[in-house]
Amino acid sequence: MIVARSLLLAGIILLYGWLFTLQEHRAEERNVSLDMALPSTFYTITSGYMKQLVAEMLFIKTSVFMGGVRPDTSPTVYAEALGNNFETMTRIYPHFIDPYYFCQGFLPYISPETAAKANTILERGITTYPNDLILRFFYASNFFLAMNEPLKGAKAFAEAAKLPKAPPLFGHLASLLAAQGGDLAAGLISLKTMLAAEKDEIVRNRYEKEIVIFEQALEVQKALNAFTHKHGNAPATLEQLTPEFIASIPDIKDLFVLVYNPPTLHLRRPDRKKKVEPGT
């Protein structure tokens, strides 16, 4: 009797394995597509009190699709449907937290347009969960990592830095992105605010070094403003500022590099893979 049961169990396991392998093989051969969800108003009206269930079903459908996409499929093929589905499920049930994380995991890395779509969806999550620091980090980082809009990223990080229990990293990123985007004064104010609140001596020393660099960069900015006021246009290079408007261009290196894209002056972290000449 025991032997018969063991053989039966073994047979069931082998049958399951064969069926699973067959299904896996078929999945690899067929082209998987993702249908766009209907407008969220349709689900909202028809689902009544079942909004959460409808949102979860749409989430599962989308997740299954993403798990079955062939590796050689271009994300642009399904980007629009993917963004639409994440937007729909979060509109139906904004408190459903999982779609915000999945949205961040896929959309921002396809294109700047899909990154903007992700941020639109994340805005809904932030409205629903205003103190969620992770959603705030996703939202702010997308601006400079995927959309090349450092000033918007700086503003988002500055707002997030005001939240209870927000890490000092948020304020620091706000200052760095402000300087990268050309708003040196805002970056300096943020750094000084952080210095005033910081207790750790090592961190304070780092902020003090950065403040000195920001102040040097602001002297160059003042010279740029004076040149522009006198001549009616910005100089083509920073060397045109010397010696009339500034004695010399400060030798800023290591922690930051001074980058001039007329008419805007930037402070950026140096790219260790690509050498950036100061004042260029």
Model confidence at 279, in pLDDT bands (50, 70, 90)?
very low
What pLDDT does 17 receive? 62
Q: Which of 14-18, 147-151, 230-234, 270-274 has the lowest mean pLDDT?
A: 14-18
* Higher pLDDT pick, 276 / 134: 134
Sign of CA dihedral 35, 40, 45, 49: positive
Asked if pLDDT for residue 267 goes beyond 60, the answer is yes
The fraction of the chain above a pLDDT of 90, given in percent, is 68
Give the burial string for 23-49 (b: 16+ CB within 10 Å, else e).
Answer: eeeeeeeeeeebeebeebeebeeebee
Model confidence at 280, in pLDDT bands (50, 70, 90)?
very low
Q: Which of 47-61, 135-149, 244-258 has the lowest mean pLDDT?
A: 47-61
Average pLDDT (29-41) is 64
In the chain, where the domains are located: 34-146
Report pTM. 0.78
Mean pLDDT of the chain: 86
Model confidence at 70, in pLDDT bands (50, 70, 90)?
confident
- Tokens standing for residue 136: 């705030």
| Cα–Cα distance measured from residue 265 to residue 203, given in angstroms and rounded to the nearest whole number | 26
Contact between 147 and 115 under an 8 Å Cβ cutoff? The reply is yes
Asked if pLDDT for residue 20 goes beyond 70, the answer is no
